Amino acid sequence: MADNSFGRLFRMTSWGESHGPAIGCVVDGVPPRVALTQSDIQVWLDRRRPGQSRFTTQRKEPDMVKILSGVYQGLTTGTPISLMIENVDQRSKDYGEIEQTYRPGHADFTYDVKYGIRDPRGGGRSSARETASRVAAGGVARRVLAEIDGNILIRGALIQIGDQKIDRAKWDWAAVEDNPFWCPDADMVAVWEDLLDATRKAGSSLGAVVEIVASGVPAGLGAPVYGKLDADLASAMMGINAVKGVEIGAGFGAAALNGEENADEMRMSGDEVSFLSNQAGGVLGGISTGQDIVLRFAVKPTSSILTPRQTVTRAGEDAEVSTKGRHDPCVGIRAVPVGEAMMAITLVDHLLRHRGQVGAPGRFPPPA
Amino acid sequence: MADNSFGRLFRMTSWGESHGPAIGCVVDGVPPRVALTQSDIQVWLDRRRPGQSRFTTQRKEPDMVKILSGVYQGLTTGTPISLMIENVDQRSKDYGEIEQTYRPGHADFTYDVKYGIRDPRGGGRSSARETASRVAAGGVARRVLAEIDGNILIRGALIQIGDQKIDRAKWDWAAVEDNPFWCPDADMVAVWEDLLDATRKAGSSLGAVVEIVASGVPAGLGAPVYGKLDADLASAMMGINAVKGVEIGAGFGAAALNGEENADEMRMSGDEVSFLSNQAGGVLGGISTGQDIVLRFAVKPTSSILTPRQTVTRAGEDAEVSTKGRHDPCVGIRAVPVGEAMMAITLVDHLLRHRGQVGAPGRFPPPA
Amino acid sequence: MADNSFGRLFRMTSWGESHGPAIGCVVDGVPPRVALTQSDIQVWLDRRRPGQSRFTTQRKEPDMVKILSGVYQGLTTGTPISLMIENVDQRSKDYGEIEQTYRPGHADFTYDVKYGIRDPRGGGRSSARETASRVAAGGVARRVLAEIDGNILIRGALIQIGDQKIDRAKWDWAAVEDNPFWCPDADMVAVWEDLLDATRKAGSSLGAVVEIVASGVPAGLGAPVYGKLDADLASAMMGINAVKGVEIGAGFGAAALNGEENADEMRMSGDEVSFLSNQAGGVLGGISTGQDIVLRFAVKPTSSILTPRQTVTRAGEDAEVSTKGRHDPCVGIRAVPVGEAMMAITLVDHLLRHRGQVGAPGRFPPPA
Amino acid sequence: MADNSFGRLFRMTSWGESHGPAIGCVVDGVPPRVALTQSDIQVWLDRRRPGQSRFTTQRKEPDMVKILSGVYQGLTTGTPISLMIENVDQRSKDYGEIEQTYRPGHADFTYDVKYGIRDPRGGGRSSARETASRVAAGGVARRVLAEIDGNILIRGALIQIGDQKIDRAKWDWAAVEDNPFWCPDADMVAVWEDLLDATRKAGSSLGAVVEIVASGVPAGLGAPVYGKLDADLASAMMGINAVKGVEIGAGFGAAALNGEENADEMRMSGDEVSFLSNQAGGVLGGISTGQDIVLRFAVKPTSSILTPRQTVTRAGEDAEVSTKGRHDPCVGIRAVPVGEAMMAITLVDHLLRHRGQVGAPGRFPPPA
């Protein structure tokens, strides 16, 4: 089952388990002659790397990426780019006992039922460690975006932890880089710190909501019906570990709108079309409008908690389990750079797909 | 761009515009020797057909499906099944004036920007009429499900119109078939009737939330990382016209949970594993748990409204537009059978994918 | 199993059985604003149509194609183009007895073993009638080629029937249109007429070799390793009914060459590279060189013959079978337009794939 | 462009250049619980490894494979298997001068035209070194075949070098392992030794023909129309470096047969169907018959020859080039294990595809 690839023309194929020798991915379909170095990728991995604050797992992974192919003298060659990240801090002993006992909320049970076998060390293939491959591929995607359309800017932020939501009126992109939560509301930072400290102390965890915004995306990306940009973004985000919901623009709030509120009005602004609102979140009929693409996704609480939970064993007996070890009290935090990466990968894929079918970029006005 | 297909092993390819001679789809990968007649498909199309109450468009489309291939003497042969639905009530004159003026909230603008051309009659390819093809393919999928695993039951309901949400405590599946909204809360029916009558009178429209539940799904469907069952379901639902958000299990509510609340505990119940809750919505790590698969999606209000809206023309001039004609005041209603169909298609695809890679169905306990 | 589609970006999905109500295909990924009428497609179907000489089956099929979607006011819209050809002359009674008895050389046995069921009427899905869908999709492909790169010319010819090979020194493309065999060697026509008359009289059949040449193909189409243009062409041609071999350029003759003979030397000719020979058949390393793409494929003799053959029945008993009815004594003849169509489809697909990844067409000299 | 993957359900994605740090592949869709060790793969790489006789390149590559993921405690887990082979003997200095001058018969020119850039060291991505990844993936495929259907046996042989063809009457599979050519005709070995010694002395090279035979393949693999087993095999083999033709069964010889000769007759043999001949090469209508699958492919002479050839430079000037260094005088020899590997990969893919759609293996007699 070719289930470890994402994207059609710009396609990443991911491999690796949490405690194997390495993880990595192959990025195929990269346009040629794009400047690319390891540090172009490393910079994004560094954002995602664990252990940078007390609010993420203390596992020490340098997450140093190596480019094994597809780049010659600093330029992509159009052939597949193989990226590898060696696993360094593997402490397998932490995980020995969970081989027989399924942790609620984890994929332990379902992997075993499906495959009859799993690598239990650190969650194996289902570990959030796999998202490092996404971020690495996202780094390649960002370079390609910059080369093809230098105006695209992809940014993410955390907008809710537990029941504490930011005040959107205070949104400040600059603030995002100034706190360990990627929080755009500076006033919320202290609240979240207290909340997470208490949560960690209680051996518990909390869910979160992430928002990803892509600005400068040209109109015309996406395709009708089963190639919709928003459908691909939904798949991209829902596929991130622990994500339980995805919405775009007004999202679930759209249910409570009426038609007048929902329909983003348009006006000419010089030669260009400008929209008076963005309930659509930048996508109409599956195709980008040229407005900001705005989406959100919900991340469930980390399933690894200290509190003992009822469960069953691999042998079919009732048991209890509590998860010791080094875990994120809120995995939503580290999901921010992952969501950005998936946005970048999806947009590049659609840029290439559009170019393949249509040739020229979308434009307004259309031919008479 | 092969953008009009959905599914990998069980794959439907859809074609057709609202006011062309016909619409239809080709369903490939259907297992052989499955009993299938036109009425097995027609029964689901009849549920979706417009004009069955005053709350859906008054367009009169009999939506009679024809099977053109792939069935011999009442059994599928394993070759592609071509389904065609002729367009009967096309009244193109209703749509003449919108060729030049983009309707806010519709795909008019984005199609034109992308392709430089579009069939404007009735929304052309972006019309919700395309969903008849989904429902038809869903009918085939249901027959295959019944043949492979007779226990799977797929049902949908409308749980919110505008800001009026049902009372989940009153959920009654039997009620769903007794009102024009697929509403599971009998007490809500009158409220929605009044709400939609007022909305229609005002020339406006309302959004809605649909819930789809698949019971009896065996554990083990789905795959890690980029072949996750929930990621495919998210893509399936987000790709339905007018959908702006998708969630599974606790969904966006998961953000506000703590780890103890989120982790569905397990107990042995005889030889089987039983879960004490279903925050996961039936999917862990992208693989089905055997619990009900529960998802919801938000549908925006119908963009075709009588109230004039500011817009621009194809030639780049400011204009106003109001949409006359026969429209659903709440497209969410007719989205229920469409969501059911996409669930059926996605589940069959994953059943075949699982069978391809693993052979036997998932089972518990796994081999020692 | 999505086994009825061909191509990645320009993708045709074929459906239909020989004696069902119709056959057809959906062509997805067509670039927008390409002028296309039914007669642009019909002209190629007319070339393939049976019954035009005494050397092809006397089945009378008008093979009139209908465009059901994807074209608006004479231009493609970028949405899928559904093409349908109704089956008219179905005489099912001819085929009643073969339901139980497998015809040697046909797919009767293998379909039954695989699927446990088949539509036996006229060969069902395995009938060469399916190639009408290929030719129809090829007509769309030719229009796209003309729009994107007007210099590409695709032509086919029959170069061998039985053991009678043409004299390549006498090759004359004009002659191809002047005889019922698409024979480029005018002197061979009478020989083949006598040969086939005798073959038909004997109730037998003969194999053939077809050559397809694409001129004016730009350099740079194809991709390394698993996206090779010649690998895709090999798949395209081997997938045509009754084809048993495919070769490109020197083909099997390359085995007997030495390195000096094989390596096509190059010289500058003004600003352009010119090759002094074309052993490569226009493809090096899987990528087009700009020379003519030259390939050949071998077609086995029609398996439907009058001479009784030993076989077995569906119930597992020894039997004899002879095939009456209206058959081509040499199916290779009608394979010529099919091979042209598959060449056109494959080239368009690679043109779009190249444009997707690289953007601009291939060019020489490359950047310094 | 996802052009570096092969297979649908069993899918390998290949990466790496001849003189980069490593090459490798990711094998996705592997069934779980298949016993697999590095030596299961290494044994096949050892067969392909250069430098084992004076008739293959003297480059010293140990070609040691590492399994980086997807295997736990000696069993596959169903997750992607990442295989890596480090490049050891890279002598880049040998290749410095060819960066500017295109070698006739090589992909130098076409890569540069397509991508505007290429890694010239050792042929970069177009080097036959990539075939080590195919052989490694083939090793995984063979293990899966053994697990699912232990009767399948895949063997290859060289049947022609230059114009010297073996005598098929002398075919002896045991002989194949006893000479450096994989030659099944012991009497031909000395002839080929002399022929290749002379060729090497002359600084020239020769083409060859390889035959691959798969025995014990169950009937029912493959699919009609665009999923034909033989079409996929044609693509698999034509995609191997330097291959110019592929044929199955009677192949090009089928053109000269009549219908009686071509149609393999059938008789019951106990409960099983037995064929009286195998002109079909084990495939009818794209689906395996249960007979041996027999195919051949032609390999052109090594393009790297000492004799100076006319060519052009990257800057567009006439030049001469001769290729020094360590090259195979007949690359066809080392293509034998590569062809075997591609056969194994294709068969596993079709086994899983069949299982996905149909469930049970093909069987005779079919249901009444």
Cβ–Cβ below 8 Å for B244 and A254: yes
pLDDT grade for C57, boundaries at 50, 70 and 90: confident
CA dihedral D168, D171, D173, D174 (to 10 degrees): -150
CA distance C290 to A192: 63
Give the burial string for C204-243 (b: 16+ CB within 10 Å, else e): bbbbbbbbbbbeebbbbbbbbbbbbbbbbbbbbbbbbbbb
Q: 0.95 exceeded by the pTM?
A: yes
pLDDT of residue C96: 63
Least confident of C46-50, D98-102, D242-246: C46-50
Q: Indicate the residue of C32, C69, C118 with minimum beta-carbon distance to B15.
A: C69
Nearest by Cα to D209 from D273, D291, D296: D296
| Nearest CB neighbour to C266, from listed D4, D102, D112 | D102
Q: Which residues pair with C26 in a beta bridge?
A: C13, C82
Range of weakest confidence among A77-91, D102-116, D253-267: A77-91
Q: Are A218 and A290 in contact (CB under 8 A)?
A: yes
Measure Cα distances from B322 to A202, A289, B242, C216, C353 in Å: 57, 21, 19, 51, 41
Q: Which of B80, B84, B119 sits opposite C4 (nearest CB)?
A: B80
B266–A301 CB contact, under 8 Å? no
Q: Which of A33, A224, A356 sits opposite C356 (nearest CB)?
A: A356
Give residue B68's region: left, alpha or beta (phi > 0; psi -120 to 50). Answer: alpha
Contact A82 D15 (CB under 8 A): yes
Compute the average pLDDT of residues C228-235: 98
* pLDDT at residue B285 in the model: 97
Count of residues in chain B: 368
Tell how many helices (H) and how many strands (E) occur in chain A. Answer: 8, 18
Q: Which of C72, C73, C357, C358 to mutate to test the interface with A (most CBs of A within 10 A)?
A: C357
Question: Across chain D, how many H-helices and E-strands are there?
Answer: 8, 18
Other C-beta atoms within 10 Å of A299: how many?
31
Model pLDDT, residue C22:
97
**What is the reported pLDDT for B327?**
75
**pLDDT tens per residue across span B213-267:** 999 999 999 998 999 999 999 999 999 999 999 999 999 999 999 999 999 999 9
Overall average pLDDT of the C161-178 stretch: 97
pLDDT of residue C242: 97
Report the percentage of chain C scoring pLDDT > 70: 96
Q: Does C28 touch chain D (CB under 8 A)?
A: no
Residue C92 has pLDDT above 60, yes or no: no
The predicted pLDDT at position B88 comes to 87
**DSSP letter string over D250-266?**
TGGGGGG-BHHHHS--E
CB distance A76 to A29 below 8 Å? no
A250 residue type, one letter: A
Contact B321, B308 (CB under 8 A): yes
CB count within 10 Å of CB A113 equals 26
Residue B158 pLDDT grade (very low, low, confident, very high; cuts 50, 70, 90) = very high
In angstroms, the CA A156 to CA C260 distance is 59
Q: Report how far residue C208's alpha carbon sits from residue C182's, in angstroms, rounded to the nearest whole number.
A: 12
Kind of pairing between the strands at C283-284 and C272-275: unpaired
Q: What is the pLDDT of residues D177-230, one digit of tens each?
A: 999 999 999 999 999 999 999 999 999 999 999 999 999 999 999 998 999 999
Examine the pLDDT at D94 and tell me if it is beyond 60: no
A2 inside 8 A of chain D by CB: yes
Of A221, A248, A265, the CB nearest to B244: A248
pLDDT tens-place string over residues A289-336: 999 999 999 999 999 899 999 999 999 999 999 887 667 899 999 999
End-to-end CA distance of chain C: 46
Amino acid at residue number D23: I
Confidence of residue B328 (pLDDT cuts 50, 70, 90): confident
Could you tell me the pLDDT band of residue A93, with boundaries at 50, 70 and 90? Answer: low
Q: Quote the pLDDT of residue D122.
A: 87
Q: Residue length, chain A?
A: 368
Q: Which candidate from B1, B109, B284 shows the least CB-CB separation from A227?
A: B1
Share of chain A above pLDDT 90, in %: 86
Angle between the N-to-C axes of helices A332-358 and A229-238, in degrees from 0 to 180, rounded to the nearest 10: 150
- Which helix (H) or strand (E) covers residue D192, if one does? helix D188-201
D22 and A69 in contact by Cβ < 8 A?
yes
User: How large is the average pLDDT for residues D20-36?
Assistant: 98
Least confident range of A347-351, B85-89, C15-19, C82-86: B85-89
pLDDT tens-place string over residues A162-180: 999 999 999 999 999 999 9
First to last CA, chain D: 46
Q: Which two tokens stand for residue C185?
A: 């060697």
**At B261, phi and psi to the nearest 5?**
-70, -35
pLDDT at D326: 65
For an interface test with A, give the residue of D3, D82, D130 to mutate (most A CBs within 10 A): D82
What pLDDT, in 10s, does the model give residues C245-299?
999 999 999 999 999 999 999 999 999 999 999 999 999 999 999 999 999 999 9
Q: Report the range of poorest mean pLDDT among C35-39, C85-89, C347-351.
A: C85-89
Q: Helices (DSSP H) in chain A: which residue ranges? A: 38-48, 108-115, 131-148, 173-176, 188-201, 229-238, 259-262, 332-358
- Which of D 106-125 lie inside 8 A of A, CB atoms? 114-119, 124-125
Tokens read off for A93: 């002993």
DSSP B122-145: GGGGGSGGGHHHHHHHHHHHHHHH
Within 192-251 of C, beta carbons closer than 8 Å to D belong to 199, 204-209, 219-228, 230-239, 241, 244-251
Q: Which residues of B touch D355 (CB under 8 A)?
A: 355-356, 359
Q: Residue D43: which pLDDT band, with cuts at 50, 70 and 90?
A: very high
Residue C278 touches chain D, beta carbons under 8 Å: no
In this predicted model, what pLDDT tens digit does every residue of A201-260 receive, in sequence order? 999 999 999 999 999 999 999 998 999 999 999 999 999 999 999 999 999 999 999 999
3-class DSSP state of B276 = coil
Residue D252 touches chain C, beta carbons under 8 Å: yes
The confidence score (pLDDT) of residue C60 equals 75
Query: Which of chain D's residues have a Cβ under 8 Å away from the Cβ of B359?
Result: 31, 148, 355
pLDDT at C1 over 50: no
- Across D249-266, average pLDDT: 97
Instruction: State which amino acid sits at residue C260.
Output: E
| Sign of the dihedral defined by the CA atoms of residues A311, A316, A318, A319, in that order | negative
* Nearest residue on chain D to B144, alpha-carbon basis: D357
Question: What is the helix (H) or strand (E) element at residue B266, kind and residue range?
Answer: strand B266-269
Taking an 8 Å cut-off on Cβ atoms, the answer to whether C15 and B69 are in contact is yes
- pLDDT, residue B92, reads 55
**Contact status of B14 with chain A (Cβ, < 8 Å):** yes
Query: What are residue C210's phi and psi, to 5 degrees?
Result: -110, 140
Q: What angle do CA D11, D15, D19 make, to 5 degrees?
A: 155
A79·D21 Cβ contact <8 A: no
The secondary structure of residue D361, as a DSSP letter, is P
| Identity of the residue in B29, B358, B359 whose CB atom sits nearest the CB atom of D357 | B29
Q: Is the pLDDT of residue B337 over 70?
A: yes
**Cross-chain Cβ contact A289/B110 below 8 Å:** yes
Span C113-123, average pLDDT: 94
Tell me the average pLDDT across C61-77.
95
Q: State the chains in contact with B (3 or more Cβ–Cβ pairs under 8 Å).
A: A, C, D
Does the pLDDT value for residue B1 go beyond 50? no
**Taking 50 as the threshold, does the pLDDT of residue D1 lie above it?**
no
Ordered DSSP codes for C212-259: EEEESPPTT-B-STTS-HHHHHHHHHHTSTTEEEEEETTGGGGGG-BH
- For residues B49 and C159, give the distance between their C-alpha atoms in angstroms, rounded to a whole number: 56
Please state the rounded mean pLDDT for residues B269-277: 96
Chain C, nearest residue to D319 by Cα:
C267
- The SS3 call for residue D170 is helix
**Mean pLDDT for chain A?**
94
Q: Name chain C contacts of A359, Cβ cutoff 8 Å.
A: 31, 148, 355
Measured between CA atoms, how close is C10 to chain B, in angstroms?
A: 6
Q: Are B14 and B81 in contact (CB under 8 A)?
A: no
Q: What pLDDT does A326 receive?
A: 65
